[in-house]
Amino acid sequence: MKILALDSSAKAASVALGENGNIIAEYFQNCGLTHSRTLMPMVSNLLANCEIKISDIGCIAVSAGPGSFTGLRIGMAAAKGIAMGANLPCCGVSTLESMSRLPVTENGIVCCTMDARRDQVYNALFEVSGNNITRICPDRAVSLSQLADDLAKTEKKTILVGDGAELCYNYLKNIIPVCIAPPSIRIQRASGVLAVAEEMVKRGDTVPPQFLSPNYLRLSQAERERLKKLNKNN
């Protein structure tokens, strides 16, 4: 089954097409343009250059969060629009889990991170041993101090990936031994979404497009301010 995967969870946007564990094509763009301008043209160009029609695709996968609120909504809208038009099932993939499929060749703990602001990171930990990848904790928003405490308990080599990797490395390097992945394999991308989606399809873990929903992990700033005002009034 051919799967079309989208990622617009952070500053970069990417699209990948794959089948049976193979990446047929991947487009990656990190030029600062808004995803509303870049994502759908990337999809159209990728499919046209591969001479693939939407009718040839069996599933649409998209990064479901955590991540940029606006970026996730753009990706979700694109995935839903494509899937509804072609009556295709969908996979909503954890952004953090997709990072664990980056080509980090060393065994150890892959610490997937995104800058969540307010002295927190979005984070999940995975243990890599050969071709086996095991989730250690759920997706979460956590302080850097708590992350340091959790990693200190693992006593295994830790590789930082994601757009929060540099932030975490600068905080952690004087506390515990950590490594940071090279920039070329550090940032989340659609090929990671594709890899997780292929596993989800095998498990039958797909949903109709109308049931796709983002996982923000915490409220937006506007929602937090609204609750703060309500609490004051009460």
Which pTM does this prediction carry? 0.93
User: What pLDDT, on the 0 to 100 scale, is given for residue 225?
Assistant: 54
Please write the tens of the pLDDT for every residue from 46-104: 999 999 999 999 999 999 999 999 999 999 999 999 999 999 999 999 999 999 999 88
User: What pLDDT, on the 0 to 100 scale, is given for residue 32?
Assistant: 85
| Weakly modelled stretches of the chain, pLDDT under 50 | none
How far apart are alpha carbons 231 and 18 in whole angstroms? 49
Mapping DSSP onto H, E and C, the string for 68-110 reads CHHHHHHHHHHHHHHHHHHCCCEEEEEHHHHHCCCCCCCCEEE
How far apart are alpha carbons 161 and 121 in whole angstroms? 12
Residue tagged 């997706």 (tokens)? 139
User: What pLDDT, on the 0 to 100 scale, is given for residue 223?
Assistant: 52
User: What pLDDT, on the 0 to 100 scale, is given for residue 35?
Assistant: 96
Residues facing residue 127 across a β-bridge: 109, 134
- Taking a C-beta distance cutoff of 8 angstroms, is the pair 21, 168 a contact? no
User: What pLDDT, on the 0 to 100 scale, is given for residue 218?
Assistant: 79
